[in-house]
Structure 1
Amino acid sequence: MARSKSTPTPVELPEVNFSDWDGVRSLHLGTEWIQGTMLMDAPYDIELEYVQRMMAWLLFTDPARLTRFHAMQLGLGAGTLTKFCRKKLKVTTTAIELNPQVLHACRGWFKLPPDDSKLRVVIADAAEEIRNPMWHGVVDALQVDLYDHEAAAPVLDSAEFYADCRQLLSEDACMTVNLFGRSSSYERSVEKMVEAFGAEAVWAFKPTREGNTVVLAQRTPSRPKREVLLERAELIQSRWGLPATKWLRVFKPLVSRRA
């Protein structure tokens, strides 16, 4: 049957597969690049260092408020962040993923739970879906990790995209973004986030050994006292097993607050 001129050409999505090595299962999109991992004997834990750092929004969160939180992931990967937010933090969680094969893989190979009253996976283009007014102002933690099968640069990385992300956030919410890629520029990406959020709202980790840099942007800029951050880091570490006290040595605001 001929395709009408008004029907868009479908996007060719990469094949999804996985590999197992030394107790770790890795998700691939038809290449050797790892799109996510799972500890096979602890499927709801976070194994990769940069993915652990994507949880840094917890440093800015009153733990007593978590029961009312809504976390959203743009890009499902191996479902690591989605599983952690739903199973460990027990917060309402939404993931937006373009490739239905990735969702199938996560449910079949990576122990992603089925959708329920507190978990929803939306198959959609994140750039379009986040413009839906139903999501505006209701996300308390946004985690962005959008890479194609070549892992060369973020798929969505413009000031307009980050402005759309900011619209999703509640007043005290945070966005964390993974920046990695052979063609990407950390400086250019951060400039685009600054354009959308303001310089005082942006924090960054030092890069991991693998070259991932996690950047955090606050909907409303704040400078918690170090003792507050340390207290929360200790709680995060004891309650959920994330190395949060180490984060404070490699995580700082982009600019110092003026006196």
Structure 2
Amino acid sequence: MAARKRISSTATEEDLPQVSVSDDGISRYLHLGTPWVQGSMKLKEPFEIDLEYVQRMMAWLLFVEPDSIAERTAVQLGLGAAALTKFHYKKLKMHTTAIEINPLVVNICRSWFKLPPDNDMLEVVLGDASLEILKPRWQGAVDALQVDLYDHNAAAPVLDSAEFYADCRNMLTPEGVMTVNLFGRASSYQRSLDKISAAFGASNVWAFKPTREGNTIVLAQRVATPLSREELQSRAEAVQARWGLPATKWLKVFKQVEPGAGS
């Protein structure tokens, strides 16, 4: 890989991390004051999803009818490099909202990561996710909820309590699905899984094996969908054919959490 060249660096508020962008000629990377990559974008395919763990956060597509996608609503907690937000809006044609606490991240995404301006189908809400998700507009209204909330140290999820995950569950429609990125030097996967299972019920929780980088994606349904392995395979093939995501590979590293595994 070619050496990354630094493009920009911005910091205007004392309590927010520095936001910077690097570029290796193939992909562009978002950093929050450290070398840790907080998101990326392929320069030649800006509306595709670059990172493997971010692709896996799209596994909610396995649990809904593909023809119904455009009628559904997606919310991302944490904008990152806007990969999920752009994919839902541009590729899936969904009503999409991202909730981001750092205005510098929003500005960088608009300037360097091709995040479109707000419109009738796309909205970026500047605010604290823990408070925003309690608002009436979100209750029972979200079909696809993605949670990827890390500070500049990437040490542990910023929001990771059983109460937070219960609030996330309350946002979902009956067919709604939450996907969460669990990663961090100080975090405990099992403790986070316990909290998610307590909020959703272990029988409603699925998990991927960790990526090489250490990201583990956990999926939780508001109401369990009884799909056979054959049905999941058919859904995966449809997702891969329509949207180019490596969904058939997901099934090799993705399974339902065994009852009692999160307790």
TM-score (norm 2): 0.92
In the alignment, which residue of structure 2 is the partner of 1:188? 191
**Aligned pair 1:35/2:44, yes or no?**
no
In the alignment, which residue of structure 1 is the partner of 2:4? none
- How far apart are residue 51 of structure 1 and its match? 0.3
Identity of aligned residues (%): 63
Q: List per-residue Cα deviations over 1:8-61 (Å, max 9, x = no partner).
A: xx9701111100014110000111011000000100001110000000000001
- How far apart are residue 202 of structure 1 and its match? 0.5
In the alignment, which residue of structure 2 is the partner of 1:113? 116
In the alignment, which residue of structure 1 is the partner of 2:95? 92
**Aligned pair 1:144/2:147, yes or no?**
yes
RMSD of aligned Cα (Å): 1.2
- How far apart are residue 256 of structure 1 and its match? 6.1
Contact 2:23-2:29 within 8 A present in 1 as well: yes
CA distance in 2, matches of 1:17, 1:249: 36
CA distance in 2, matches of 1:222, 1:70: 19
2:156 to 153, 158, 168: 153
**Aligned pair 1:232/2:216, yes or no?**
no
1:59 to 35, 44, 62: 62
Contact 2:25-2:43 within 8 A present in 1 as well: no
Which consecutive residues of structure 1, in runs of 5 or more, have no partner in the other structure? 1-9
**Aligned pair 1:18/2:21, yes or no?**
yes
Q: List per-residue Cα deviations over 1:111-156 (Å, max 9, x = no partner).
A: 0011111000000000000011111000000000000000000000
CA distance in 2, matches of 1:64, 1:42: 24
Q: Which runs of 4+ in 1 moved over 4 A?
A: none
2:76 to 44, 68, 73: 73
- How far apart are residue 192 of structure 1 and its match? 0.3
* Matched letter for residue 137 of structure 1: G
CA distance in 2, matches of 1:33, 1:199: 32
* Matched letter for residue 150 of structure 1: N
* Matched letter for residue 19 of structure 2: V
CA distance in 2, matches of 1:81, 1:204: 19
- CA 1:11–1:72 in structure 2 vs 1: closer, same or farther (change >3 Å)? farther
CA distance in 2, matches of 1:86, 1:144: 17
Aligned residue for 1:137, secondary structure, equals: coil
CA distance in 2, matches of 1:208, 1:161: 25
* Matched letter for residue 192 of structure 1: K
* Matched letter for residue 101 of structure 1: L
Q: List per-residue Cα deviations over 1:72-127 (Å, max 9, x = no partner).
A: 00000000000000000010000000000000000000000111110000000000
CA distance in 1, matches of 2:129, 2:123: 14
In the alignment, which residue of structure 1 is the partner of 2:167? 164
Which consecutive residues of structure 2, in runs of 5 or more, have no partner in the other structure? 1-12
- How far apart are residue 64 of structure 1 and its match? 1.6
